[in-house]
Every structure is written in C-alpha cells, then in structure tokens.
Structure 1
Amino acid sequence: MIALDQHPSGRHFLQIPGPSPVPDRILRAMSLPTIDHRGPEFGVLGLKVLSGIRQVFRTRHPVVIYPASGTGAWEAALANVLSPGDAVLMYETGHFASLWQKMALRLGLKPEFLALPGTDALTGLPNSWRHGVQADLIEQRLRADGGHQIKAVCVVHNETSTGVTSDIAAVRRAIDAAKHPALLLVDTISGLASADYRHDDWGVDVTVSGSQKGLMLPPGISFNAVSPKAIEASKKATLPKAFWAWDEIIEMNKTGYWPYTPNTNLLYGLSEALDMLLDQGLESVFARHHRWGEAVRGAVRAWGLPIQCADPAVYSPVLTGVITPEGVDADALRKLIHQRFDLSLGTGLGRVKGRMFRIGHLGDCNDLTLMAALSGVEMGLKLSGIVTAGSGVQAAMDFFASHPQSPALQAAA
C-alpha cells in the first residue's frame, strides 16, 4: 500500500473514462501568462476557439462555451429552451441519463422517463443499463402525444456509466416519423472528440458536452451547440436564467469575447487541443478510439467476464464496462488495483455500483498505455482470487499485432 506521504515512482495510470490524462502540450499552453480578457489578443483567441469547436461538433451554428462543468451545460440546455411545467421525454440508459432527469425535476419541468423494460437474465441488471436508446419507443410515445405537450426529447449519446453509445440519428428519424415538433437535446459529454458526432447532420437542437473527456482538458469548460430552432425557442422560454442565457453570449462571441470573465487559461488549452484534433483529422481520431475499444473488449472476453454493454452494435469507443463475478465487490477490486499498481479505474455508478468497473480508453492514450492498464487489471483479478478463462493481456497484444496502427495515425499521434 502506498503511504499518503509518499510519492510513487513513475506516472499514475489514469484509466477512468474522464477526466482523461492531459497531454503535456496542453499543460504547457495553459501555463502561459493570463491576458486581458477585454484586450485585442484575447479577441483573436476567442474567435479561434469558437471556430475550431464548431468543427468538432460538426455544426455551422453557434457553440456556447461556459466556464463550468458538464452539469452546468445540462442546466443551460434545459433553461434556455423550456418553461416551468413543460413536459420532457427523457430516456434512461444509465446513471447520467438519470441525473439529467433529476435535474429536470428540480427545475420545475415534468420529465417522463422511458426505459427498456425488464431485467437482464445473465447479470440481474436492468435491461436499460445494458442497451442504447430504443428509438422506436420514443416514436411510439410521440405519436401518442397528439396535443404536442412534450416540448423536448433528451437522450445521452455516450453513456459514461455503462459504455453504451446510442444511435442519435435514429432518434432524429423517430421524432420526424412521428411528425412531432419536440426539440432534440443530446448529452455527448463523454462522446465528443472520441466518437463520431454530427450536430447538424443528425438534426440535434442542443448538444451538451464538456472539456475533460475526448478534448483532453481538465474539467472546467462546457458547451451548448445550438440550432436555429433552439435559438428561436429560447426567445419564448421562461425558465429563470441569467448566467446561462445564450443571447448575450452569442452576441459578444461575434467579436471573440464573453459577457463575463472567461477561464482564459483553459481557453489556451482548448486552442491547443483543437489544433491537435483537427491536425490529426476527426476521422483518424475516431478510428484510433475504435481500435483501442476493440482491443480492450477482446481482453475482457478472454477473461471470461461480461461486458456491461450487451449490444455489440453500440459498444462505446470511449470506455468498456466490466461486470465482476457474482459476489465479487468491484469497488474492492478497484481499490486493490489502485493500491498495488497506481492504476485508477472507473467505479460503477448508481444501479451498477459494486457490480462493475470501467476501463477508459480515450484521449491521450496509446497501445502501451492500454497494455499497462490491462496488465494491472489482470494482476488484480489474480490477486483477488478471480479465476479467468484466459489472458486478456495476451488477447490485447494479439489484437494490436494483427491490427497495427496505420502509418498516417502514427505520424499524427
């Protein structure tokens, strides 16, 4: 066990699904002297990051940047387009979908929580926590809403608590098929810059995200990407808002400034992160994450442990949830691995706490980083007396050997 007053040798392995490791290049950018946020130099910086972040969201429309966590951007999304008592259709895919639903209740909205019914026979866990959004259920509910009382549909793109990435384009098609005017609000806090996401092409009205996942920044910046339809809705919405209000921010952003003091040094980091992502190319970034996810899942299968996401079609490229054997406390296993190998894994959240752990494979990673993480997990399993079907480390090595990173990705990394 590492004593609290000792600093372990080597670098800590942070393999949770966010906050993700921050590259040295970004840390150096953040260490630059703070500048006048009303001066000309800042205006240049502001315009650069606002242009770059639109490319990452794949939108032509405004992206509002807040000095806040993703939770703040959740509230901003709801507060800008809805009024007290509005009905909202939300879909349960895991812990973060549940937290967004609780926020809607606290804001005085009337959320209706859809979920895939039943319990998974293999694990005893709720089916809704092992599968993605079922767009057909949303379509059925909207068709039944003949009076159009439902004002928005809220879904999570990449559910960080379970490792499920839902089909947002299918949700858009469902809303359109029902001929329903509801706005589409999407949380891609952990998906942005790691998994393919298309705000405009998928017809999303408000996209919520944060800085500490695929963007490889510390926590402290969050985003609302907004459609023209959402901006029109915001002019009539009456939920209280001041700091979160889009109108003043969008207007001042036209010249690269904000109506309040922005987090200047995190914007330096965002500028650097955008350069790294866009220089590499988003398609290459997504391919890299997909490859890492396949290797990690191969390791989990070799151990003979169930993957939290039960549908291979919606496996997340960001993280993999691993269900521990019956009677094995996943948090005790995580604690052992952290103490022995200085490796942090994600905890199970909400309904799956103690039943699973999460391996993050996003952002500033490479093959050897993941091999080290998988080695730590495999040694922890053995130390805990958990018998595995085979070696996950060997399975991942075999995958990486047979699926080498392309020369283009190697040059960009």
Structure 2
Amino acid sequence: MLMIPGPTPVPEKVLLALAKHPIGHRSREFSDLQGEITARLKWLHQTQNDVLILAASGTGAMEAGIINFLSPGDRVLVGCNGKFGERWAAVCQAYSLQVETITAEWGKPLDPQQFQATLEADRDRAIKAVIVTHSETSTGVLNDLAAISQFVKAHEKALLIVDAVTSLGATNVPMDAWGIDVIASGSQKGFMIPPGLGFVAVSPKAWEAYKTATLPRFYLDLGKYRKDAAKNTTPFTPPVNLFFALQVALQMMQAEGLDAIFQRHDRLMRATQAAVQALGLPLFAAPGAGSPAITAVAPTQVEAEQVRATMKKHYDIVLAGGQDHLKGKIFRIGHLGFVAERDILAAIAALEASLVELGYSGFTAGAGVAAAASIFAKG
C-alpha cells in the first residue's frame, strides 16, 4: 500500500488499460487518443494554452520548462525552501543562467513579499523568469503561488515557471486565471498512473520568449512537440500504453470534477494532520502551510526510520522518508491521487499500532483514528 508522494496508487481501470496491446503511434487510432487526452489535459490545467506530453519524469518536464525559454546569462529568480526548489536552482546553474534565490527554512513557506520586493527593485526588468515549486514534496509545504503570481504579472517581463508536480490534480492551479507561463508535472502523482510521462503547459508569452531563447535543446525542444501536437502526434516514440492509462485516469478525474478532487485532497490532508497531532507527533510544515499532497511528520520520541520500517514489515504500508539533511528525521504520509478516506484510516491505524510496537506511549489508544474520523464526519 503506497502512502508516498509518488508513485501513487493506480486504479484498477488504469491498470487494465496498461495491459492493452500497443497500437502504432503513427496510426489514426493513436492520433484520436492523443486528441482526447490533450483536451482533457487542458481541462485539468484550466487553460486554453498548449499542454505538451513528454516521455520523461517531472524533473525532465521542469528542465524542458526552463531551457526552452531562456538564454545563457539570463537572470532568474528561484524560490528555494526544499529539495526540489534547490534542484531547479541547480538545473539553472548547469545551463549557465544567473541564479538568484529567495529562500525559506525547510518546513516553512516562501514569503511572497520577498518576491514582490525583488521584482519591484528590478527597474531594468532584467529578471527573465521566476521559478517556483508550488507543493514542496520534500517538506509537505504548499507555497502561496496565487500571491507570487500577482507580483510576477506586475513585473510584466518575467516568465512564471511552476513545478506543479505534486499540486496539479490535488489543489487549484488555474493556469490562465493566475497568469502562469509554464507548468510542469509528472504522471505518477495526481494523474494516478505509473511514472514515465511529463507534462509541460506553455503560455503565449512563453512561446514569444522561445523565439529568442538560445539554450541548447534537442529531445526536450518543446517547439517540436508543439508542432506535432497540432496534428495530434509526437516528434518521438511515445510510451503508448501510458497514453492508454492516461486516457482512463483523466476520464475518471473529469467525472469526479475539479472542485470535488480539490475538496477530497483537502479533507484527506486535514484528517491526516489531525490524526498525527492526536498521536502527539509534531507536524513538520509550518501551521497553515501544509500541502494537500503529503504530510511530513517530525517525531521526537521515536525514530522516523523505525516507524517506516515497522509500517512496511507488519502492515505492508510504505511511507516516505526525509531527504538530504532531513533523512532519518521525518517521515512523510502521502495522500495524493487515488487515495480515499478508507486509506487514511487504515494508514493511521497501522501507524498507531507501529508506535505501540516501538514503545511510544504518548497518545491514547485510538486517538489518531478518532481524530481522522471526526474530520471525515464533518466533510
């Protein structure tokens, strides 16, 4: 039972779609399939813009989102409050971009006012892009993308490039309404399918920047994908069976509806947070900054890795560990994608039993399950 931020659980309908015999990727059947998928992807991104599909991970999608619209020496502003924000800064440095970071302590959200101050101070409009991780997977923090986007729009020149890998399909990311120029995401998160596909949504403003961008690119040249997507095809061989899976998953998501999807993830987050606190375990994310995709827990009286090992050994439930300097200090409970209230209750019950097994007694038996159930009862 996967309770991690990716790969996430895959619905049976989607698994069965994966088992279909492949079709030719230059066939009329595949073209029709891609046409349907593209329309549904635009619905999910809440956009009229291009949404392109890559055979890549979320990191590949983000790298494509950076290198297609910038040139060596361009000044970029990168928000860093976790492993993935720092990764995008490293990608930019690898491509000889001039990187300036806005940072926050891991576990705390980025301060939109710092973006505002830096952007307003850029009198010459030299900042070419602002790069933000919406849901910082490493810490379970959701950054205030809506506020940051307003300051980027006021700057007028800078592109807003967003890592929405664990936020798209879990919380509201309205591309057109917020004026986001590039959104990158990956298939193994809110999309509810296995790893292997990356998605990049691109605004007209970003395409204008593409015309003069000079960073090297070939396989990740989004211009090629855009040209072929207009004909419902791909420039390179796609993972056909993942397209079958994506078709079914997007159909399921559209049947549930965006508001219902967002409300479900918010409910699962609140229930998980309430349960963890009822067990006397500290949340790692700052109050009010939790992500609807994942809850990070920072235990002080029991070792995080022992919790994870016990959960897996006795209950076959997999939790995520900490990354970089947080390794061994936190564990993370995923509640993203194909996850229901039943899954949260099962995971919390197993967590309670694991804590007892490890000799932790800082809670009343059943307190975690009761706290989660109370949230679910309220809706």
The TM-score with structure 2 as length reference comes to: 0.96
Report the Cα distance in structure 2 between the residues aligned to 1:217 and 1:174, rounded to whole angstroms. Answer: 34
Q: Residue type of the partner of 2:3?
A: Q
Q: 1:144 aligns with which of 121, 126, 130?
A: 121
Q: Is the 8 A contact 1:88 1:110 kept in 2?
A: yes
* Equivalent residue runs for 1:14-413 within 5 Å: 14-116=2-104, 128-177=105-154, 179-312=155-288, 314-325=289-300, 328-390=302-364, 391-400=367-376, 402-404=377-379
Report the identity percentage.
39
Report the Cα distance in structure 1 between the residues aligned to 2:281 and 2:201, rounded to whole angstroms. Answer: 38
Q: Residue type of the partner of 1:146?
A: R
Mark the runs of 5 or more structure 2 residues left unpaired by the alignment: none
Report the Cα distance in structure 1 between the residues aligned to 2:305 and 2:235, rounded to whole angstroms. Answer: 44
Q: Is the 8 A contact 2:109 2:286 kept in 1?
A: no
Task: Say which SS state the counterpart of residue 84 (structure 1) adopts.
Answer: coil
Measured after TM superposition, the shift of residue 74 of structure 1 is: 1.2
Task: Say which SS state the counterpart of residue 386 (structure 1) adopts.
Answer: coil
Task: Say which SS state the counterpart of residue 290 (structure 1) adopts.
Answer: helix
Task: Say which SS state the counterpart of residue 201 (structure 1) adopts.
Answer: helix
Q: Residue type of the partner of 1:323?
A: A
Task: Say which SS state the counterpart of residue 215 (structure 1) adopts.
Answer: coil
Q: Residue type of the partner of 1:182?
A: A
Report the Cα distance in structure 1 between the residues aligned to 2:321 and 2:100, rounded to whole angstroms. Answer: 28
Q: Show CA shifts across 1:97-155 (max 9, x none).
A: 11111111112222212113xxxxxxxxxxx2222221110111122222222211000
Report the Cα distance in structure 2 between the residues aligned to 1:100 and 1:50, rounded to whole angstroms. Answer: 26
Q: Residue type of the partner of 2:250?
A: L
Report the Cα distance in structure 2 between the residues aligned to 1:109 and 1:387, rounded to whole angstroms. Answer: 51
Report the Cα distance in structure 1 between the residues aligned to 2:153 and 2:287, rounded to whole angstroms. Answer: 25
Runs of 4 or more consecutive aligned structure 1 residues displaced over 4 Å after TM superposition: none
The root-mean-square deviation of aligned C-alpha atoms, in Å, is 1.4
Report the Cα distance in structure 2 between the residues aligned to 1:18 and 1:186, rounded to whole angstroms. Answer: 18
Q: Residue type of the partner of 2:112?
A: A
Report the Cα distance in structure 2 between the residues aligned to 1:332 and 1:237, rounded to whole angstroms. Answer: 49
Report the Cα distance in structure 2 between the residues aligned to 1:382 and 1:232, rounded to whole angstroms. Answer: 59
Report the Cα distance in structure 1 between the residues aligned to 2:285 and 2:304, rounded to whole angstroms. Answer: 17
